[in-house]
Amino acid sequence: MPLKVNVLSLARKSEHVTGELPAAEIAEGYRDELVSMGSPLAYDLDLEHQADGILMTGRLAMTVNCRCRRCLESFEQAVEIPAFAAVVPLEGEGAATCDGDFADLTPFLREDMYLVLPTNPLCSPNCCGLLKKSAEGVPDSEPPEDSGESPWGALDQLKL
């Protein structure tokens, strides 16, 4: 169910809204092999009517399901916008979709959440990738040991 607000009512009095949007509503149009929407999007917003649109301020938070880009293990990650702010235009290009007196704010929440989703998720900063599944048994918490030789060492020896 999308987040819709009565524009005429908002013009008379600012509103405070809290609730959740289903993960499927936020995931609409999102395609990523490593990140998918896990929990509903929780919102806590103050809405104020302005001359050029609706000012939304507040907090957005949700949990996403990720697959580590190095080892492909699944994990969850919390995603939050603690100081969310956006102006939703009511007229012109990029205006909110209106159904009578109600404006749909969902696309604007969706767009900002897409911007904070992880682009290269890692299960841990020290993830060793697929090496941790090898017979060597390199632990997750330690990166592979450095042999001391630079991978560019052979190039340094070239005489051009």
In this prediction the pTM is: 0.74
Q: How far apart are CA 133 and CA 2, in angstroms?
A: 43
Whether 135 shows a pLDDT value over 70: the answer reads no
Q: How far apart are CA 69 and CA 66, in angstroms?
A: 9
Q: How far apart are CA 118 and CA 109, in angstroms?
A: 16
Residue 148 pLDDT class (50, 70, 90 cuts): low
**What percent of the chain lies above the pLDDT cut of 70?**
89
pLDDT value, residue 133: 54
Q: List the chain domain ranges.
A: 4-137
Higher pLDDT, 142 or 42: 42
- pLDDT, average across residues 116-140: 74
Residue 147 pLDDT class (50, 70, 90 cuts): low
pLDDT value, residue 51: 85
